[in-house]
């Protein structure tokens, strides 16, 4: 009986799903702060960061646990094409 299955809380499963979704995208890094129940998407491309902030809800509820989701664009000073319109 050396192999035992361990269940993860649903918010950890959600984080892992986001991490896997963006695993092949070098412009997106997904981080999870379990103490603050916060998922951060660090996005190098400002247009992509804007689009993701429009697509993802700023928080997700799992019963009595709420996880915040922050999309953070890079600080390289690059102008978004949305800002140029």
Mean pLDDT of the chain: 88
- Is position 54 within any domain? yes
Q: What sign does the dihedral 50-52-53-55 (CA atoms) show?
A: positive
The pLDDT of 12-27, averaged and rounded, is 97
1 assigned to some structural domain: no
Q: Judge whether 55 lies within some domain.
A: yes
- 4 assigned to some structural domain: no
Q: Range of 31's domain? A: 10-73
* Angstrom distance (rounded) from CA 4 to CA 49: 39
Nearest CA to 42 among 67, 15, 70, 66?
A: 70
* 1-11 pLDDT, tens digit each: 567 778 899 99
Q: Which two tokens stand for residue 14?
A: 């959600």
pLDDT of residue 75: 76
Structural domain contains residue 28: yes
Higher pLDDT, 68 or 83: 68
If one counts the domains in the chain, the total is 1
């Amino acid at each position: 009986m050396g192999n035992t299955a361990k269940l993860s809380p649903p918010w950890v499963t959600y984080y892992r799903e986001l991490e896997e979704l963006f695993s092949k995208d070098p412009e997106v890094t997904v981080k999870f702060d379990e103490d603050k129940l916060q998922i951060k998407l660090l996005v190098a491309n400002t247009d992509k960061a804007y689009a993701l902030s429009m697509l993802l809800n700023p928080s997700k509820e799992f019963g009595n646990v709420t996880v915040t989701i922050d999309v953070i664009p890079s600080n390289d000073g690059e102008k978004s094409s949305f800002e140029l319109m």
